[in-house]
A and B are shown apart, each in its own frame.
Chain A
Amino acid sequence: MNLKKLLDLFLTFARIGGLTFGGGYAMLPMLQKEVVENRGWATEEELADYFAIGQCTPGVIAVNTATFVGYREAGILGGVMATLGVIFPSLVIITIIAAFIRNFADLPVVKHAFSGIRVCVCVLILNAVLKLRKNSVVDKPTTAIFVLVFLLSVITPLSPVVFVILAGLAGVLLKGGKKAL
Chain B
Amino acid sequence: MMLLQLFLEFARTGLFAVGGGLATLPFLYSLSDKTNWFSHEQLTDMLAVSESTPGPIGVNTATYVGFATAGLLGAVTATVGLVLPSVIVILIVARVLDKFRESVLVKSVFYGLRPCSTGLIAASGLSVVELTLLNMDALKSFQFLNALRLPYLIIAVILFFAMKKFPKHPAFYIALSAVIGIVFKL
Contacts and interface: CB of A to CB of B under 8 A. Distances in A.
B108 A172 contact: yes
Nearest to B64: A94
Given A19-B170, A137-B118, A163-B116, A62 B56 contact: yes
Given A56-B18, A68-B94, A175-B107, A116 B112 contact: no
Given A58-B14, A58-B86, A76 B109 contact: no
A147 B67 CA distance: 42
B128 interface: yes
A52 B116 contact: yes
B171 to A, nearest CB: 4
B3 to A, nearest CB: 15
A35 interface: no
B72 A171 contact: no
Contacts of B87: 59, 63, 67, 79-80, 83
Contact of A30 (B114, B163, B170): B170
Nearest to A154: B123
A23 B57 contact: yes
Interface residues of B, number: 92
B159 interface: yes
A153 B119 contact: yes
Contacts of A104: 49, 52-53
Contacts, number: 380
Interface residues of A, number: 109
A39 interface: no
A36 interface: no
Contact of B122 (A98, A99, A129, A172): A129
Which label, helix, strand, loop or mixed, suits the secondary structure of the A interface? helix
A94 B170 contact: no
B52 A123 contact: no
Contact of A22 (B51, B63, B82, B111): B51
B6 to A, nearest CB: 14
Interface in A40-55: 45, 48-49, 51-55
Contacts of B60: 90, 93-94
A55 B19 contact: yes
Given A94-B75, A123-B173, A164-B116, 11 more contacts: A63-B58, A64-B86, A67-B86, A79-B87, A98-B64, A123-B159, A125-B128, A126-B125, A163-B119, A168-B109, A168-B112
22 contacts: A20-B54, A21-B54, A25-B124, A27-B56, A29-B170, A60-B56, A60-B83, A60-B86, A63-B56, A63-B86, A87-B63, A104-B53, A120-B177, A121-B132, A122-B129, A125-B121, A125-B128, A137-B118, A161-B18, A166-B116, A171-B108, A175-B111
